């Protein structure tokens, strides 16, 4: 039986990697990466430049599954990584994890960085649990229905958003969220890391005037956390 290790990697700062993750990356036969170029930069930074890396982009994950499972069947141990953070949550890998388990191979998590938990830990909106929505639907109707249903749970909501859609998403949600506290975390662990706090309406105006860069993690305070002071 071979092993597929699901390895969390830094979301920005390359020092944010565990000793166990580095050992796993050194000892595996092949690293399976969302983007081989970004992963090679990480491996090179930690002296593992010679490791073989195969790409597993989201748009082609299903087609590449048979060849990866065949490697496991042949006795190779694989390490699955994403561009940053924990694989198989909002990034590619869940299909490979399922296929490996169904083929009888061990799947071992190697935990570490996560943009969502990093944002919550620094936001003041933690402590009461949260609901993670991943990437939200793009159409306004589905977007508001998804968030509206989640709000009924009364917990902090967390979702990911592209910088190109952030202002539009916040503007669409503004009537629904009202004065709820919203936190937008950008470029976490990087040089230009920022956390912006306000209402959805205020932050939509901010990011319309100054378009953000880098993937964003958005948090919405639950009903038990009060409202943002306007």
CA 74 to centroid of chain Cα atoms: 31
Rounded CA Rg of the chain: 19
Q: What residues does each domain of the chain span? A: 3-110, 115-225
DSSP state of 55: E
Beta strands 182-186 and 130-135: pairing type?
Answer: unpaired
Domain 115-225 in CATH 3.90.660.10: no
Return the pLDDT at 230. Answer: 42
| Of 101, 95, 31, the residue nearest 62 (C-alpha) | 95
Interatomic CA distance for residues 29 and 24, integer angstroms: 10
Structure-token pair, residue 68: 């990866």
Q: Alpha helices of the chain — where are they, by DSSP H?
A: 19-27, 36-45, 61-73, 94-102, 115-121, 140-151, 166-177, 200-209
CATH class of 3-110: alpha beta
Q: Give yes or no for a contact between 156 and 219, defined as CB atoms under 8 angstroms apart.
A: yes
Spell out the per-residue pLDDT of the chain, length 230, in tens: 899 999 999 999 999 999 999 999 999 999 999 999 999 999 999 999 999 999 999 899 999 999 999 999 999 999 999 999 999 998 889 999 999 999 999 999 999 999 999 999 999 998 888 999 999 999 999 999 999 999 999 999 999 999 999 999 999 999 999 999 999 999 999 988 999 999 999 999 999 999 998 889 999 998 755 454 44
Assign 130 to helix, strand or coil. Answer: strand
Q: Give yes or no for a contact between 150 and 131, defined as CB atoms under 8 angstroms apart.
A: yes
Return the pLDDT at 128. Answer: 84
Give the Cβ contact number of residue 15 at 10 Å.
9
Q: What residues form DSSP beta bridges with 63? A: none
Structure-token pair, residue 135: 């990437």
Q: Give yes or no for a contact between 221 and 198, defined as CB atoms under 8 angstroms apart.
A: no
Return the pLDDT at 224. Answer: 52
Give the Cβ contact number of residue 85 at 10 Å.
24
Return the pLDDT at 226. Answer: 47
How far, in Å, are 68, 78, 110, 165 from residue 71 at the CA level? 5, 8, 20, 39
């Amino acid at each position: 039986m071979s092993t597929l290790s699901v390895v969390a990697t830094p979301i920005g700062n390359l020092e944010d990697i565990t000793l166990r993750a580095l050992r796993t990356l050194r000892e595996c036969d092949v690293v399976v990466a969302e983007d081989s170029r970004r992963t090679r930069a990480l491996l090179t930074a930690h002296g593992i430049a010679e490791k073989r890396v195969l790409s597993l982009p989201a748009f082609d994950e299903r087609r590449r599954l048979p060849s990866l499972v065949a490697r496991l069947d042949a006795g190779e141990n694989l390490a699955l990584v994403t561009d940053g953070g924990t694989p198989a949550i909002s990034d590619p890998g869940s299909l490979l994890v399922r296929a490996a388990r169904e083929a009888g191979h061990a799947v071992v998590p190697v935990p570490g960085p996560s943009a969502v938990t990093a944002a919550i830990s620094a936001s003041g909106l933690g402590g009461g649990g949260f609901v993670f929505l991943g990437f939200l639907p793009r159409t306004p109707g589905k977007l508001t229905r998804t968030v509206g249903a989640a709000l009924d749970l009364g917990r902090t909501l967390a979702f990911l958003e592209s910088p190109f859609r952030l202002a539009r998403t916040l503007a669409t949600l503004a009537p629904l969220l009202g004065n709820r506290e919203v936190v937008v975390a950008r470029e976490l662990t990087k040089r230009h890391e920022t956390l912006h706090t306000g209402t959805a309406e205020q932050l939509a105006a901010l990011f319309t005037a100054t378009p953000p860069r880098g993937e964003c993690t958005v948090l919405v305070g639950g009903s038990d956390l009060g409202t943002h002071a306007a």
